[in-house]
């Protein structure tokens, strides 16, 4: 503002002489300044609205880009995790197969041992049965010999004939 309390005058455009400017009365000057300021304020608001809309559009586009990028990263992470899970499942199955094969092999070994033990026991039982049969045969032969000797002893000691009993 100048010393009179009025706003400063606008700079003079090139090619326009100062002498041609007519001093306006403060009322006319204020009314021209108000309409010029209003137009300027409107222009500023319009420019601000357009800039705001442009900023909002850019922000939406950037948000959409970020959303697409996040979705792509999430999909990639999901694929990576799925592959990792598949590898872990394959490892678990491989370990389970190895354990099952080891258990099966242990069972085969145990079965062979049981069969071997059964075969050995069967052979022992056969041998024991054979020995018992031999003892029975030996015992029969021995009893036959004893019987023969007893018969010989009884025959030797048997009186030839007993005389008839005389009662006197």
pLDDT for residue 62:
95
DSSP letter at 19? G
C-beta of residue 6 within 8 angstroms of C-beta of residue 29? yes
**pTM of the full predicted structure?**
0.41
Over the stretch 33-71, which tens digit does the pLDDT of each residue have?
667 788 888 999 999 999 999 999 999 999 999 999 999
Alpha-carbon distance of 165 to 168, in angstroms, equals 9
87-96, 122-131, 149-158, range with the lowest pLDDT = 149-158
Categorize the per-residue pLDDT at 17 as very low, low, confident or very high, splitting at 50, 70 and 90: very low
Q: Considering only CA atoms, which of 41, 30, 28 is closest in space to residue 6?
A: 30
What are the structure tokens assigned to 161, written together? 């004939």
Q: Are 42 and 34 in contact (CB under 8 A)?
A: no
pLDDT band at 154 (very low <50, low <70, confident <90, very high): confident
């Amino acid at each position: 503002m100048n010393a009179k309390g009025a706003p400063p005058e606008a700079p003079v455009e090139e090619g326009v002489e100062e002498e041609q400017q007519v001093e306006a009365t403060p009322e006319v000057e204020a009314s021209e300044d108000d309409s010029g300021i209003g137009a300027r304020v409107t222009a500023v608001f319009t420019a601000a609205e357009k800039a705001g809309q442009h900023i909002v559009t850019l922000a939406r586009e950037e948000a959409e880009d970020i959303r697409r990028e996040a979705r792509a990263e999430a999909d990639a992470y999901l694929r990576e995790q799925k592959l990792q899970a598949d590898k872990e499942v394959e490892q678990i199955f491989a370990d389970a197969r190895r354990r099952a094969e080891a258990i099966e092999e242990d069972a085969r070994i145990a079965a062979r041992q049981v069969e071997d033990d059964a075969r050995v026991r069967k052979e022992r039982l056969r041998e024991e049965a054979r020995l018992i049969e031999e003892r029975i045969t030996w015992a029969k032969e021995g009893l036959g010999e004893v019987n023969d000797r007893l018969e010989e002893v009884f025959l030797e000691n048997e009186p030839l004939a007993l005389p008839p009993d005389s009662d006197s």
